[in-house]
Structure 1
């Protein structure tokens, strides 16, 4: 086995650190969905104000992903990841002390900036620490970290929220960030990144490489559209569904958490299976297989509704 194809202790530590970071992000976003009713009641928020807490968290995440992603190309994955984790942890903790809508909105937006920065860089760190032939499944393992965080939020919120309240839940949300920070401090920059950063021509190329020619521009635009549609559907379901189930169907917190948990387990199975397939049969065939499966599921759902 050549050196570039070797998997060592660093590879596993990078994967663990990225997966824990993703779990932190998933946990934070889903507890917000479960806590919106409690937050709205105490702070006397209107439905539009409550919704904007989620919206601006995601707006911040988009901004953080773009800015910190570019910074990580210039200053290094580990250093910038540390910045994003600290930013996320501090402002998630401050949410516990919010006295009204505006200060909570500011805290959530800035926490979202840190979250978005960590999101993209964590995936890049794990992918660069592993041989290319394993990168699809490694990315799926990191994504499973996110789903573990979401599952943890679904299982823990019904138990903890009645006891410690929404303010205490925000403080709990800081703990995974501290764990991720400790793990990241034990890592160095991936060799792939170090070699690339040593090239003078690589400076300032973060975005230009995405549109370097017509074919690349087409692929980049397609990925942006696909990711936008996917995230629109995912966050629309996972964050808003607990409130919908409670208000429209009368589900209590435990029933909403059970529905969410079952959904997450299905997602985790899909992430694992298609991650394996992508490395074995290729990215494009796996993606087309996924799309065919999604169409069949949509057709089945439509038939059920009819």
Structure 2
């Protein structure tokens, strides 16, 4: 296995503006960009539907918070497996093909969630949805990272990541509309039904999106000599340390995000006494901060480096989470603080895709990137359940703060131990 892709650096880019990458894109690159951005937005919409309706499900199905959090954990644990397997098959059969399969998968199971009759059925459906949810990121992030030149990679991949905030916003908008027009026992089912819409994106992918040249060349060379990548190769000599540190880093990145976002709608309703519909404005400002954070993070990662992005945002996230959950404040101040909370608790994720793409050789990039990001997601998946159970003895806000701050500490340590990767050129290897 060669590591040449990890030693070369791109020439300095004179245009450091956020949108420079888009102006310089070819038509195929732009098609890939919009396909991945749409896929990530719709993936985010599908995932965020459950946190938005979990309070209603607790009431309608008579479950406790710990059990409700278990559905999130099951989704994320399954996504860890789905991400690793999808990444592995993306190395063997192609990034675009696996992206299509995963989108169809999670769309179908979101629709199934709309028809469940018991919480146990919902738990199983959400877990199966997680397989595609994790796989979509693994295929899409590698596809985007390989399709973009090194000097633009942070901004381009980070801008795609901002699509998650758009999907979150669409889910909140759907919640506001459906819960205003329908009784709660029907509204939450229609929320899940809307989650089937991403399946339409597959038609665009099949027609317009091409496999990255570097991936196609690597796969063809491996097939020619009968040396296809093995699923355990990411734990081999020369990459084991990077794999383990990246998985720890991913745990912090994912755990912090899910600790905050999974229970935040319920926190606003239960501890801040804000209604489901009334919380829409608070969540909208939070999402605006998140979207801004993604774009700022994308620019920072290319301008100042991946490490500075992760360290700065981890510190900012700890500070805002502690203030948001622990300091008594007026409703207006809660609304205002939502912007920096969304900014810091989300923005660092815009650098993760490019960072992981640059850490590993092309031969095992899909498998390694899928494993590290989604292993982190699987371990971070424990946080929503533990927060739910801990909130029976502590306040929900305190439980959120404990696990979020612990996760951001892991993110910080991982960022300091892993190398800076800004500007690395990817080669067929």
Report if aligned partners of 1:84, 1:114 keep a CA contact under 8 Å in 2: yes
**Counterpart residue number, 1:183:** 204
Q: Does 1:102 align with 2:120?
A: yes
Q: 1:281 to 1:109 in 2, by over 3 A?
A: same
Which among 219, 224, 237 is matched to residue 242 of structure 2?
A: 219
Of structures 1 and 2, the one with the larger relative CO (CA 8 A, separation 6+) is: 2
Q: Of Structure 1 and Structure 2, which has the larger fraction of its residues in helix?
A: 1
1:256 to 279, 285, 291: 279
Secondary structure of residue in 1 paired with 2:84: helix
Is the Cα contact below 8 Å between 2:105 and 2:132 reproduced in 1? yes
- Which region of structure 1 is more displaced relative to structure 2, 224-233 or 68-77? 224-233
Q: Which residue of 2 aligns with 1:10?
A: 28
Name the residue aligned to 2:5.
none
> Among residues 65, 68, 71, which one is paired with 2:86 in the alignment?
68
The equivalent position to 1:197 in structure 2, one of 202, 219, 225, is 219
Contact kept, 8 Å, 2:32 with 2:210, in 1: the verdict is: no
Q: Deviations over 1:164-202 (max 9, x none)?
A: 511111111111x12321221121211121111122276
Distance 1:162 1:231, change over 3 A: same
3-state SS of 2:210 partner: coil
Could you say what secondary structure the match of 2:277 adopts? helix
Cα shift readout 1:190-228 (whole Å, capped 9, x = no counterpart) = 112111112227621555246541xx4333322222221
Aligned to 1:150: 168
**The one of 279, 295, 299 aligned to 1:276:** 299
Which contiguous aligned blocks of 4+ residues in structure 1 show a shift greater than 4 angstroms?
291-305
- Please state how far the C-alpha of 1:67 moved relative to its aligned partner: 1.1
Structure 1 residues 125-134 or 196-205, which shifts more?
Answer: 196-205
Contact map agreement 2:52 2:175 (CA 8 A) in 1: yes
CA contact (8 A) 1:242 1:257 kept: no
Aligned-pair CA distance for 1:303 = 10
Aligned length: 299
Comparing 145-154 and 260-269, the one that deviates more: 260-269
TM-score w.r.t. structure 2 length? 0.64
Deviations, residues 267-295 of structure 1 (Å, cap 9, x unaligned): 22222122112223332344344445556
What's the secondary structure of 2:148's corresponding residue?
A: coil
Q: CA RMSD for the aligned pairs? A: 2.6
Deviation of residue 43 (structure 1)?
2.8
- Cα distance, 1:57 vs. partner? 1.1
Q: Quick one: structure 1 residues 46 and 209, their matched pair in 2 at CA, closer, same or farther if it must change by over 3 Å?
A: closer
Contact map agreement 1:43 1:99 (CA 8 A) in 2 = no
